[in-house]
Protein backbone atom coordinates (compact mmCIF):
# COMPACT_ATOMS: atom_id res chain seq x y z
CA UNK A 1 0.00 0.00 0.00
CA UNK A 2 1.29 3.42 -0.90
CA UNK A 3 0.00 6.98 -0.59
CA UNK A 4 -1.89 6.23 2.59
CA UNK A 5 -4.56 8.53 3.92
CA UNK A 6 -6.23 8.76 7.33
CA UNK A 7 -9.23 7.01 5.82
CA UNK A 8 -7.08 3.87 5.46
CA UNK A 9 -6.98 3.48 9.23
CA UNK A 10 -8.68 0.41 10.63
CA UNK A 11 -8.27 -3.28 11.47
CA UNK A 12 -6.55 -5.50 8.93
CA UNK A 13 -6.31 -9.30 8.78
CA UNK A 14 -5.68 -12.06 6.29
CA UNK A 15 -7.56 -15.22 5.37
CA UNK A 16 -6.40 -18.50 3.90
CA UNK A 17 -7.95 -20.25 0.92
CA UNK A 18 -9.93 -22.45 3.31
CA UNK A 19 -11.50 -19.43 4.98
CA UNK A 20 -9.40 -19.47 8.17
CA UNK A 21 -8.76 -15.91 9.34
CA UNK A 22 -5.70 -14.71 11.16
CA UNK A 23 -5.69 -12.25 14.06
CA UNK A 24 -6.63 -8.69 13.17
CA UNK A 25 -4.14 -5.84 13.52
CA UNK A 26 -5.09 -2.17 13.92
CA UNK A 27 -3.51 0.30 11.49
CA UNK A 28 -3.67 4.02 12.11
CA UNK A 29 -2.82 6.51 9.39
CA UNK A 30 -2.18 9.94 10.84
CA UNK A 31 -2.18 13.16 8.91
CA UNK A 32 -0.67 15.11 11.77
CA UNK A 33 2.90 16.33 12.12
CA UNK A 34 3.93 13.58 14.61
CA UNK A 35 3.73 9.83 14.03
CA UNK A 36 4.11 7.04 16.61
CA UNK A 37 5.55 3.84 15.20
CA UNK A 38 4.35 0.87 17.27
CA UNK A 39 4.22 -2.89 16.63
CA UNK A 40 1.18 -3.97 14.65
CA UNK A 41 1.11 -7.51 16.03
CA UNK A 42 0.71 -8.27 19.74
CA UNK A 43 3.88 -8.32 21.81
CA UNK A 44 4.59 -11.53 23.70
CA UNK A 45 4.81 -11.30 27.44
CA UNK A 46 8.41 -11.17 28.59
CA UNK A 47 9.63 -9.66 25.29
CA UNK A 48 10.49 -6.07 24.34
CA UNK A 49 8.21 -3.24 23.18
CA UNK A 50 9.89 -0.74 20.84
CA UNK A 51 8.21 2.63 20.20
CA UNK A 52 9.52 5.36 17.92
CA UNK A 53 8.21 8.94 17.69
CA UNK A 54 9.03 10.91 14.51
CA UNK A 55 8.00 14.27 13.11
CA UNK A 56 7.20 14.97 9.49
CA UNK A 57 9.22 18.17 9.53
CA UNK A 58 12.70 17.87 11.00
CA UNK A 59 12.35 19.23 14.54
CA UNK A 60 14.92 21.31 16.31
CA UNK A 61 15.19 18.55 18.96
CA UNK A 62 14.25 14.85 18.58
CA UNK A 63 13.28 14.66 22.25
CA UNK A 64 9.90 12.93 22.55
CA UNK A 65 7.46 12.45 25.38
CA UNK A 66 5.71 9.08 25.52
CA UNK A 67 2.25 8.58 27.00
CA UNK A 68 0.26 5.54 28.04
CA UNK A 69 -3.49 5.85 28.44
CA UNK A 70 -3.07 9.66 28.48
CA UNK A 71 -0.40 9.73 31.23
CA UNK A 72 3.25 10.67 30.66
CA UNK A 73 5.49 7.67 31.32
CA UNK A 74 8.90 8.66 29.92
CA UNK A 75 10.86 11.29 28.03
CA UNK A 76 13.48 10.07 25.57
CA UNK A 77 16.04 12.43 23.99
CA UNK A 78 16.44 10.18 20.96
CA UNK A 79 12.72 9.74 20.25
CA UNK A 80 12.92 5.97 20.82
CA UNK A 81 11.62 4.06 23.84
CA UNK A 82 12.00 0.38 24.73
CA UNK A 83 10.09 -1.41 27.44
CA UNK A 84 11.64 -4.67 28.62
CA UNK A 85 10.41 -7.11 29.83
CA UNK A 86 6.83 -6.62 28.76
CA UNK A 87 4.00 -7.68 31.07
CA UNK A 88 0.24 -7.68 30.74
CA UNK A 89 0.09 -4.36 32.59
CA UNK A 90 1.93 -2.68 29.67
CA UNK A 91 -1.06 -3.22 27.42
CA UNK A 92 -2.93 -0.01 26.49
CA UNK A 93 -3.06 3.11 24.28
CA UNK A 94 0.27 4.80 23.53
CA UNK A 95 1.01 8.19 22.02
CA UNK A 96 3.94 10.62 21.79
CA UNK A 97 4.61 14.29 21.31
CA UNK A 98 7.48 16.31 19.83
CA UNK A 99 7.71 20.08 20.16
CA UNK A 100 4.14 20.31 21.42
CA UNK A 101 2.64 18.30 18.55
CA UNK A 102 1.06 15.03 19.61
CA UNK A 103 0.53 11.83 17.65
CA UNK A 104 -2.70 9.82 17.48
CA UNK A 105 -3.03 7.01 20.00
CA UNK A 106 -2.07 3.49 19.00
CA UNK A 107 -3.14 0.37 20.89
CA UNK A 108 -0.48 -2.09 22.00
CA UNK A 109 -1.58 -5.60 22.89
CA UNK A 110 0.37 -8.11 24.99
CA UNK A 111 -0.17 -11.85 24.70
CA UNK A 112 0.51 -14.34 27.43
CA UNK A 113 3.71 -16.29 27.16
CA UNK A 114 3.02 -19.98 26.44
CA UNK A 115 3.93 -22.28 29.28
CA UNK A 116 7.15 -24.16 28.78
CA UNK A 117 7.08 -27.84 29.52
CA UNK A 118 9.84 -28.77 31.89
CA UNK A 119 11.95 -31.76 30.84
CA UNK A 120 11.07 -34.92 32.70
CA UNK A 121 13.29 -35.46 35.64
CA UNK A 122 14.45 -38.95 36.35
CA UNK A 123 13.43 -39.73 39.87
CA UNK A 124 15.03 -42.69 41.52
CA UNK A 125 13.10 -44.38 44.25
CA UNK A 126 15.37 -45.14 47.16
CA UNK A 127 15.53 -48.85 47.81
CA UNK A 128 15.02 -49.75 51.41
CA UNK A 129 17.26 -52.57 52.53
CA UNK A 130 15.88 -55.10 54.95
CA UNK A 131 17.28 -54.60 58.44
CA UNK A 132 19.58 -57.36 59.67
CA UNK A 133 17.90 -59.94 61.88
CA UNK A 134 17.92 -59.09 65.54
CA UNK A 135 20.11 -61.52 67.46
CA UNK A 136 19.48 -60.14 70.94
CA UNK A 137 18.64 -62.62 73.73
CA UNK A 138 15.13 -61.19 74.08
CA UNK A 139 14.47 -61.79 70.42
CA UNK A 140 15.81 -65.35 70.54
CA UNK A 141 13.71 -66.13 73.62
CA UNK A 142 10.61 -64.76 71.97
CA UNK A 143 11.20 -66.85 68.85
CA UNK A 144 11.71 -70.00 70.96
CA UNK A 145 8.51 -69.35 72.90
CA UNK A 146 6.62 -68.78 69.69
CA UNK A 147 7.81 -72.07 68.25
CA UNK A 148 6.84 -73.93 71.43
CA UNK A 149 3.37 -72.45 71.34
CA UNK A 150 2.97 -73.59 67.76
CA UNK A 151 4.42 -77.08 68.34
CA UNK A 152 2.75 -77.99 71.67
CA UNK A 153 -0.83 -78.36 70.36
CA UNK A 154 0.32 -80.78 67.67
CA UNK A 155 2.38 -82.78 70.16
CA UNK A 156 -0.46 -83.02 72.68
CA UNK A 157 -3.00 -84.01 70.03
CA UNK A 158 -0.62 -86.72 68.78
CA UNK A 159 -0.25 -88.18 72.29
CA UNK A 160 -4.01 -88.22 72.74
CA UNK A 161 -4.52 -90.05 69.45
CA UNK A 162 -1.89 -92.67 70.35
CA UNK A 163 -3.46 -93.23 73.80
CA UNK A 164 -6.93 -93.66 72.34
CA UNK A 165 -5.62 -96.13 69.78
CA UNK A 166 -3.85 -98.22 72.40
CA UNK A 167 -6.92 -98.32 74.62
CA UNK A 168 -9.04 -99.56 71.74
CA UNK A 169 -6.42 -102.19 70.87
CA UNK A 170 -6.41 -103.54 74.43
CA UNK A 171 -10.19 -103.69 74.51
CA UNK A 172 -10.32 -105.88 71.39
CA UNK A 173 -7.96 -108.55 72.94
CA UNK A 174 -10.08 -109.39 76.07
CA UNK A 175 -10.42 -113.25 76.71
CA UNK A 176 -13.66 -114.82 75.53
CA UNK A 177 -15.34 -117.30 77.90
CA UNK A 178 -16.92 -120.25 76.11
CA UNK A 179 -19.53 -122.21 77.99
CA UNK A 180 -19.75 -125.88 77.04
CA UNK A 181 -22.83 -127.90 77.73
CA UNK A 182 -22.41 -131.04 79.90
CA UNK A 183 -22.53 -134.37 78.09
CA UNK A 184 -25.91 -135.84 77.58
CA UNK A 185 -26.76 -138.72 79.88
CA UNK A 186 -28.15 -141.82 78.32
CA UNK A 187 -31.66 -142.77 79.07
CA UNK A 188 -32.07 -145.44 81.69
CA UNK A 189 -32.16 -148.94 80.38
CA UNK A 190 -30.03 -148.30 77.31
CA UNK A 191 -26.82 -149.40 79.02
CA UNK A 192 -28.38 -152.61 80.04
CA UNK A 193 -29.40 -153.33 76.47
CA UNK A 194 -25.89 -152.82 75.27
CA UNK A 195 -24.50 -155.10 77.95
CA UNK A 196 -26.69 -157.98 76.82
CA UNK A 197 -25.50 -157.89 73.22
CA UNK A 198 -22.69 -160.36 72.45
CA UNK A 199 -20.85 -160.88 69.23
CA UNK A 200 -19.91 -164.32 68.03
CA UNK A 201 -16.85 -164.73 65.87
CA UNK A 202 -16.49 -167.93 63.79
CA UNK A 203 -13.01 -168.80 62.51
Mind listing the pLDDT tens digit for each residue in 153-203?
Answer: 777 888 888 888 888 877 665 555 555 555 555 555 555 554 554 555 555
Task: Reply yes or no: is the peptide bond before residue 85 cis, omega within 30 of 0.
Answer: yes
pTM of the model: 0.49
Residue 81 pLDDT class (50, 70, 90 cuts)? very high
pLDDT at 132: 59
pLDDT score, position 181: 54
Q: Which CATH number fits domain 23-111: 3.10.20.30, 3.40.50.1580, 2.70.98.10, 2.60.40.10?
A: 2.60.40.10
Contact 48, 86 (CB under 8 A): yes
**pLDDT tens, position by position, 115-132:** 877 666 666 555 556 555
CA atoms within 13 A on the CB side of 40: 12
**Which of 173, 195, 175 is closest to 186 using CA atoms?**
195
From the list 39, 12, 34, 43, the residue with the least C-alpha distance to 25 is: 12
* Pairing relationship of beta strands 92-98 and 10-12 according to DSSP bridges: unpaired
Check whether 97 has a pLDDT greater than 90: yes
Amino acid sequence: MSALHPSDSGAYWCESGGGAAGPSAPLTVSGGPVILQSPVLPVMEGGALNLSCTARAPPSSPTADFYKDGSLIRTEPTGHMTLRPVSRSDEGLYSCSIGGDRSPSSRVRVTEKPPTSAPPTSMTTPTSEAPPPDSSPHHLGFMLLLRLLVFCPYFISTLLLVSVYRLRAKGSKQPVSVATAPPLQAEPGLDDDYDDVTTDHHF
